[in-house]
Structure 1
């Protein structure tokens, strides 16, 4: 046991040696910055800002990473040093991975037609950390994104490479808990009262969902809420067959529900067979309890 701390010190020194080495070199975006991707992004995010349309359009700043992503293929720009670091962590038993957070800094807007280039560096490898997931190491990479040779933004991405903690098996699997933060806590407080609350901008009075810290339409940070009537229709849906997840029993229908108020919410469609769910089907809000802690808004299919 006396040699165990020395082993950790030596191993962490090996990890630290990768700091400052490139993780990706001379990367080039697969596509030019383009209007269709900007439009798809804005539609998915519900962002109607006029800055992203028209002849003087710019790309939403938060799309910074989108122009450098490889999709399902491995990018040739990824370096041997980054692969070696991950292999070293895998071989030491830290073979599970989870993305933990990212940080972005914007220096100049990207516009349709820009060709994005980028380089990444292994910025830091933490000391050994103990988390609820297990013991492991945080690896942070920094990607500098350029357009026309000019630095447009910086993207820091952090992962945890860890050895999963051994936990006793639970006789009953529980559904994942929703992430509650300062921006959406009011929504979950409403759910506890069996209210489905929609944010309303205090300035332009536009309704928005999901909850956001500011208005996409006018930028105002001030808002109040209105309670949904609970009436809606299935705008779109998918039926989940695979892969199976603990506490879920496929097949089941997940719907994008358009509420009578005009906003949309993703939730389960219940009370009708999964293969009878249809676009345009009327649904009605109900609150379903899944365990002693978790109650969620779901939508009951309404017959003709």
Structure 2
């Protein structure tokens, strides 16, 4: 008996304390009286777009990794106390979500905004919002074919609080979910959701002097060199365009490979190409800009006089003039970053060719 009296006394004093905090906050911000009047208001129905159905349940279970046969195996579900497939309870909120943009509600839904309190607080200088917690409770399983809706009540708003995020108000909303019944029967409550957010002014972070950083210089990526293609890359240092040649059948191939693609011989060498050819195909990359390459960045597929094709950068393009298929080209060797020599092909004008 004594313990009950103590608990009752403590509870009474706690309520008095909360009421003082609330009145102190109201005295500080007169506009909060508008929100106080909204507490306890019930907003109209927001309907589900679809009836509870097997397809959406199956997809939800696949995504969430739920393998309970009660939700997806009709034969098994028929042997249970439910006698049929049911929807996972955790899907309750999902059935009544709005369409893309949070403004597209199912037909028949209310035009009221259950979150209008957040807009009121925002208009008084509290622009940021973060969800704090959400609790779902379930009264029963939901069967296939049922049509759901929910109503919303603004349950409470706290006094002004200071948190690590900033200063603001905790707003608690309660959604009650119903199954719509036919033939004049009362709609059946199937669950609740408590949803709490904080609407706040972000705390000002102390300004830190920005550390001066030297812009990193992006270098050309180096090629992957192996024993099969080393001769090709080393050739550029000697201003040579070396194309792999089979010592057995004397045929050329590119890119380099460990075996001849023609006769399957492993006896391979190389031939120094003339560096002359024509443009077989090309692409000009405009976006995205990738450092350290120029933009636009023309890349050509060159058919050499020797009969093989090689991709390489194009140079000598006139601004606004696209290269032409079949146009003659001539190799040039350019060193990048003081260490990497690569071939580039200059377009040759008809007069030069």
Give the TM-score of the pair, scaled to structure 1: 0.51
1:131 to 128, 143, 163: 163
Q: How does 1:76-95 map to 2 (within 5 A)?
A: 77=110, 79=112, 82-83=115-116, 85-95=117-127
Unpaired runs of at least 5, structure 1: 173-304
- Summarize deviations over 1:84-143 as a string: whole Å, max 9, x none: x22320111111111111011100111221100211111111111111111111111111
Structure number with greater CO (CA < 8 Å, separation at least 6) is: 1
Larger radius of gyration: 2
- 1:33–1:113 Cα contact (<8 Å) kept: yes
What number of residue pairs does the alignment pair up?
167
Q: Root-mean-square deviation (CA), in Å?
A: 2.2
Q: 1:81 to 1:46 in 2, by over 3 A?
A: closer
2:88 aligns with 60
Measure, in 2, the Cα distance between the counterparts of 1:8 and 1:98.
24
Measure, in 2, the Cα distance between the counterparts of 1:5 and 1:124.
14
1:15 to 27, 35, 38: 35
1:51 aligns with 70
1:109 correspondence with 2:145: no
- Summarize deviations over 1:239-293 as a string: whole Å, max 9, x none: xxxxxxxxxxxxxxxxxxxxxxxxxxxxxxxxxxxxxxxxxxxxxxxxxxxxxxx
1:28 to 39, 42, 47: 47
Look up the SS of the partner of 1:10 in the other structure.
coil
- 2:86–2:142 Cα contact (<8 Å) kept: yes
- Residue 80 of structure 1, CA deviation: 5.1
Unpaired runs of at least 5, structure 2: 1-23, 75-83, 182-186, 212-353
Measure, in 1, the Cα distance between the counterparts of 2:26 and 2:144.
54
- Residue 59 of structure 1, CA deviation: 0.9
Measure, in 2, the Cα distance between the counterparts of 1:164 and 1:38.
39
Q: 1:81 to 1:45 in 2, by over 3 A?
A: closer
4+ residue stretches of structure 1 with deviation over 4 A? 4-7, 169-172
